[in-house]
């Protein structure tokens, strides 16, 4: 698909992978970065061309409704929705306790929010000649990280949902559905699990996304995610097609 002259909304766009995606698409597109912290958003957008900010909590229904109205009114539409915002707890599921509360918080941000946002913005996306939804999952959506147990659950659920959404929207709409699957990336978000020392540059993840959109590669398995998939999971594509035929 075309990767210029779009209006692109990125949740969690004030830092990490989200900010690198904004940089990769700027200035050839209009970028809207969304997050809860206005100061963080303003600092991220300060030195970027054609990048705008909207403060919103994507886990809050009222904020999502306000976000939708502002995008529709101020920007006149949307071509690409990138569901990137994430929430994660590092803990031992057997010993640390409170797994339920952690799982609820993670699923609210990582799974339910992308579903709500996609459903909310689909009418705007369908109005475009070409449009896309990008869900950012993770390598742990394939193989759970033992120190990220319920975060891994939420990304596995998002992976499953993304495949179903892609399958249905491909039947009679112009909305393409992509899934970006990073491995460990060097961001503050992953600092607690050694991401700053051992992760790949977040800019590599963003650049792979831009390339995949141009080439209509719908599952974007970055770095070690691709190696893991090729070695252990490649047969699942045929299984999905057979099951849904």
Q: Are 80 and 134 in contact (CB under 8 A)?
A: yes
First to last CA, the chain: 26
Of residues 68, 151, 167, 218, which has the active-site annotation? 151
Q: Which two tokens stand for residue 210?
A: 């831009």
Reply yes or no on whether 151 is catalytic.
Answer: yes
Q: CA of 48: how far to CAs of 20, 21, 23, in Å?
A: 11, 12, 7
Long-range contacts of 142-147 (CB under 8 A, 24+ apart): 142/181, 142/225, 142/228, 142/229, 142/232, 142/233, 143/228, 143/232, 145/193, 147/90, 147/91, 147/92, 147/193
Cite the active site residues.
Answer: 151
């Amino acid at each position: 698909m075309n990767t210029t002259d779009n209006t692109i909304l990125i949740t969690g766009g004030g830092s990490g992978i989200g900010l690198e995606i904004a940089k990769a698409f700027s200035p050839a597109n209009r970028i809207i970065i969304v997050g809860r912290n206005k100061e963080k958003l303003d600092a991220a957008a300060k030195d970027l061309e054609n990048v705008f900010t909207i403060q919103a909590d994507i886990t809050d229904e009222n904020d999502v409704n306000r976000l939708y109205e502002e995008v529709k009114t101020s920007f006149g539409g949307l071509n690409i929705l990138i569901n990137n915002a994430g929430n994660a707890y590092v803990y031992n599921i057997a010993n640390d306790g409170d797994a339920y509360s952690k799982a609820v918080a993670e699923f609210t941000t990582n799974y339910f929010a992308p579903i709500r946002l996609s459903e909310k913005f689909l009418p705007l996306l369908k109005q475009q000649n070409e449009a896309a939804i990008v869900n950012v999952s993770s390598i742990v959506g394939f193989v759970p990280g033992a120190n990220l147990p319920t975060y891994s659950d939420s990304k596995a659920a998002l992976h499953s949902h993304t495949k179903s959404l892609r399958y249905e929207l491909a039947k009679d709409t112009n909305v393409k559905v992509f899934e970006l699957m990073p491995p460990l990336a060097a961001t503050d978000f992953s600092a607690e699990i050694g991401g700053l020392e051992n992760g790949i540059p977040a800019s590599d993840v963003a650049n792979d996304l831009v390339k995949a959109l141009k080439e209509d590669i719908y599952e974007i398995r970055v770095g070690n995610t691709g190696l893991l998939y090729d070695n252990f999971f490649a047969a699942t594509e045929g299984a999905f097609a057979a099951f849904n035929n």
